[in-house]
Amino acid sequence: AALLPPPGGPGDAAGQALPVESRPFASYGSALHIALPQAPRAGQLLTLLIDYEAGEGPGVCWLSPEQTAGKQKPYMYTQGQAVLNRSFFPCFDTPSVKFTYSATVKVPEGFTAVMSATSWEKQKDNTFVFKMSQPIPSYLIALVVGDIVSADVGPRSRVWAEPCLIEAAKKEYDGVIEEFLVVGEKLFGPYVWGRYDILFMPPSFPFGGMENPCLTFVTPCLLAGDRSLVDVIIHEISHSWFGNLVTNATWGEFWLNEGFTMYAQRRISTEVYGLPYTCLEAATGRALLRQHMDATGEDHPLNKLRVVIEPGLCVNPDDTYNETPYEKGYCFVSYLAHLVGNQSKFDAFLQAYVNRFKFQSITADDTLEFFLEYFPELKEKGVDSIPGFEFDRWLNTPGWPPYLPDLSPGQQLMRPAEELAELWAADSLNMEAIEAMDIMGWRTYQLVYFLDQVLQKSPLPEGNVKRLSKMYPKISKAQNAELRLRWCQIVLKNNLEAEYSKVKDFLHSQGKQKYTLPLYRAMWGGSEATRALAMETFSATAPQLHVNVQNYVKKILGLAE
């Protein structure tokens, strides 16, 4: 490392060499200590030059050609959230610090580099120059290098993908993104990031989406061919205000990013698709929260909105990832809206909140204090300490949310799905009643809700699932990942050995964490045959999984060191 002279001042242009040492920090990174020649003054600007080499750590993912969609050329991407960018470049790797950045990236011929930056310029020698002009936390810096091309899908949006996927990506998203952005701006205030582009990642990408500013990374599972999974895009767009603009200062209060984003996503969805559909989607989210809390036990410490991540305990924030900050966080934001009692007043509050804290990192106390200041009449009423619904209880007591928003407008879509699941769970099937229900016109989330109901009732009486599979190829042969996940779970829960190959195929086709882990848990919790299937599938697919996902699966299968 070297200390460079202040711009325009005297001094050696090469700078003054500084002693550096690496000290232990946590199981997921070490601390870089740099000794300065003298103690700096508060507010003094220092220019440090750090010469480093990176690439081995978990933040940088190197894919072989067979892990890509095109299978011809290698690919690399970075994933910063939560604390992985420290293995990509030296930084203050905490969401409490925000900064602008620039980067110059030279790549081999035949490759393109893209980053989460407000400007992107290609220079000679296959060198790309990026600038991010807005301050962001370290976890939002992201780089991809691969054989990728782009296509415009809106006035400020393009899709990026491998050449073999670009047509599908353009078709799926042409014209829809701008509609979501416009609604988002109407609700939450100006979109400050300039462009909103989407990059379709290789199948091994472990997440549904990652809201890197200006350039959201998404799973190729979203290319369903019928625009049915765009709610993931609405979620990532919502992060443009909640998460990227107003950021949780610590990962222990991740719900400030995700609970508000779920609320914002469902506000946009309500404006675009209407209340019944949005309530149905929210009901599937609630079912995921129920499954998670049943699996961990309600009083598990992770089932609080404020999670204690003690620096001394070496809790990797990535290991705390679960449904709670998303869906319980959504319930808390919905409870705040319920206290206000008027949607347009609460929308105005959200816009004021974004405006007040934009480009800052904040705590839940900041949020709740601002809420009570904004609504003095609620503060006077003492809404922060209503017995059973105390803000403190919301934050610090694990378990099921004390308040659940009313999802009854979704009943018109849910009730038929519930009735059909009842029919299929009966000891003797009433085929006449089953055939009278036409599911051809159902939207994806209605089918998802139906399958969730079937899964809850499983194992079904002998032979029922086999008949269900035959009757609804739209479900049992679906290409849509959300449907495939649930069908695979039903196959496993009902020991439908004839279709175990579908579980294997699905796990071979993609490596998304939210699809992969539940299926391994189901296989490991099942019979000898499903345990063998788990081992066989994992040994074949391990190399194509993200290292975090590999480790989580090893834990499930008892292979962890």
- Chain segment 180-221, per-residue pLDDT in tens: 999 999 999 999 999 999 999 999 898 999 999 999 999 999
Question: How does strand 197-200 pair with strand 209-210?
Answer: unpaired
Confidence band for 543, pLDDT divided at 50, 70 and 90: confident
Confidence band for 11, pLDDT divided at 50, 70 and 90: low
- The tokens describing 408, both together, are 């009854």
Quick check: 323 and 209 in contact, CB under 8 A?
A: no
DSSP-based three-state secondary structure for 14: coil
Query: Catalytic pick from 75, 196, 326, 515?
Result: 326
Confidence band for 557, pLDDT divided at 50, 70 and 90: very high
In this chain, the answer to whether the domains covering 63-240 and 248-406 adopt an identical fold is no
**Long-range pairs for 15-20: beta carbons < 8 A, 24 or more residues apart:** 15/47, 15/49, 18/48
- The tokens describing 297, both together, are 């036990």
Confidence band for 428, pLDDT divided at 50, 70 and 90: very high
- The tokens describing 126, both together, are 């296959």
CATH topology of domain 248-406: Neutral Protease; domain 2 (1.10.390)
Label residue 15 left, alpha or beta by phi (over 0 means left) and psi (-120 to 50 means alpha): left
- The tokens describing 190, both together, are 């100006």
- Tell me the pLDDT tens digit for each residue of 254-272: 999 999 999 999 999 999 9
- 414 residue type, one letter: M
Q: Is 236 a catalytic residue?
A: yes
Instruction: Find tokens 């976890």 and name the residue.
Output: 139
Confidence band for 54, pLDDT divided at 50, 70 and 90: confident
> What are the respective helix, strand and coil percentages of the chain, to the nearest 5?
50, 15, 35
Confidence band for 455, pLDDT divided at 50, 70 and 90: very high
Residue 6: per-residue pLDDT: 80
- Tell me the pLDDT tens digit for each residue of 277-317: 999 999 999 999 998 999 899 999 999 999 987 655 556 67
Q: What does residue 72 show for φ and ψ, rounded to 5 degrees?
A: -105, -40
pLDDT at 524 over 90: yes
Residue 544: per-residue pLDDT: 84
Helix axes 343-357, 364-374, angle to 10 degrees: 130
Q: Which residues are annotated as a binding site?
A: 79-81, 206-211, 235, 239, 258, 512-514
Q: How far is CA 221 from CA 206, 273, 480, 513, in A?
A: 11, 21, 7, 12
Quick check: 437 and 403 in contact, CB under 8 A?
A: no
Q: Which residues are annotated as a binding site for Zn(2+)?
A: 235, 239, 258
Confidence band for 13, pLDDT divided at 50, 70 and 90: low
Where do the domains of the chain lie?
63-240, 248-406, 411-557
437-466: average pLDDT:
95
d(CA 532, CA 513): 21
Residue 25: per-residue pLDDT: 85
Give every CB contact of residue 84 below 8 A, 6+ residues apart in sequence: 28, 57, 58, 59, 78, 139, 318
Query: Catalytic pick from 28, 77, 162, 236?
Result: 236
The 3-state secondary structure of 202-229 reads: CCCCCCCEECCCCEEEECHHHCCCCCCC
Taken as a whole, the chain contains a residue count of: 561
| 330 closest CA partner among 267, 393, 381 | 267
Dihedral angle computed from the Cα positions of residues 83, 328, 310 and 560, in that order, rounded to the nearest 10 degrees: -60
Q: Is 139 a catalytic residue?
A: no
Quick check: 292 and 322 in contact, CB under 8 A?
A: yes
Q: Does domain 411-557 have CATH number 2.40.50.100?
A: no
Q: What does residue 155 show for φ and ψ, rounded to 5 degrees?
A: -60, -25
Confidence band for 560, pLDDT divided at 50, 70 and 90: confident
Q: Which residues are annotated as a binding site for a peptide?
A: 79-81, 206-211, 512-514
- Tell me the pLDDT tens digit for each residue of 390-411: 999 999 999 999 999 999 999 9
What is 63-240's CATH number? 3.30.2010.30
